[in-house]
Amino acid sequence: MIPSLADITAARDRIKDVAIRTPLLRVPTDIAGDAWLKLENLQPIGAFKIRGAANAMALVDPAVLKESGVYTASAGNMAQGVAWCARALGAACSVIVPEHAPKAKTDAIERLGGTVIRVPFDVWWKTLIDHGYPGMKGLFVHPFADPAVMAGNGTIALEIFEELENVDTILVPYGGGGLSCGIAAATRAVSPQTKVYAVEADTAAPLTASFAAGKPVTVEMTRTWIDGMGSNAVSIEMWPFVTELLAGTKVASVDEIADALRILVARVRVIAEGAGAAGLAVIRQGEELGRVVSIVSGGNIDVARVVAVLQPQERDRSATCALSSPSVANTGR
């Protein structure tokens, strides 16, 4: 079910003490035209995911959560969002991660008090499809295919339109679709003339291919250093939402995203994940988008990876660096 404006407005009230109202920053005009950045990388966990996690969990009696606990299936930002909120509530948190999940990310989950459960990739993926893991007790928070999570994500759009008039375009990195659909649901209600586009890297663009085919399709995915977006398939569960809500997709190359990340760090003083830099990469392509807002969805990127991407002599080599998990679809966005 697509969240309504009432759902999203209610979500804003629920999460106001958990997620911060992030800044909307103008991009210098010599870098891009009338372009703005919504800095979700400044959230307490370094990504937008805290919004959806907080809203989904706020709909459940805290006493029930403390008794039964909460869990999710994620190796990245949603895991940290759920763990952050669970710790604040005094609830136990478990996270189902694919066996290839990197230690750096599982360590972050554990630092927030989450218990990491490694499973084969197929089992992890089935957990997403089934919205649950056999034998696991507690509330399951789906990283994207949950109206409450989408409503929490939609609060980003409310903040944008309260601060900025006449927005023509919003660019949102695409992983699972929960971020783009939440923002698009709010946009349709508040500013229906504004177009919301999903952004993909050309090495992993199943939504673009699916729109072209008129149905969900599977594509070949090339692993790169870009995480937080991209996979080899579109969630069938999310397909009706994306076709109804999104104006289409925009695609950037790995080199374009690397250049955008370099600009964000060196000129705008913003640290972003590959996904968070993708919107600026599209803006820099020069297509007329009017007044455009790019969602900097997160900033959880290894320092070593930032250094490699920023150094021109390393950028070509960095394009072949593996994703945080070789077989894992980046279903965060």
Look at residue 228 and give its three-state secondary structure: coil
Q: Which listed residue (38, 49, 195, 250) is catalytic?
A: 49
**In 38-102, which residue ranges form alpha helices assigned H by DSSP?**
49-58, 62-68, 77-89
CB contact burial 23-49 (16+ within 10 A = b; e otherwise): eeeebeeeebebbbbbbbbbbebbbbb
Three-state DSSP class for residue 308: helix
**318 belongs to the catalytic site:** no
78-117 burial: b if 16+ Cβ within 10 Å, else e? bbbbbbbbbebbebbbbbbbbebbbeebbebbeebebebb
For residue 26 the two structure tokens come to 């103008």
Catalytic site residue 49? Answer: yes
Q: Minimal CA–CA distance to 309: which of 252, 264, 250?
A: 264
CA distance 323 to 321: 7
Report the distance separating Cα 308 and Cα 318, nearest Å: 6
What is the rounded CA–CA span in Å between residue 206 and residue 188?
24
Catalytic residue from among 210, 231, 235, 297: 297
For residue 156, the number of C-alpha atoms closer than 13 Å in the C-beta half-sphere is 36
Q: Name the maximum alpha-carbon separation found in the chain.
A: 56
Give the residue numbers annotated as catalytic, written as ranges: 49, 297
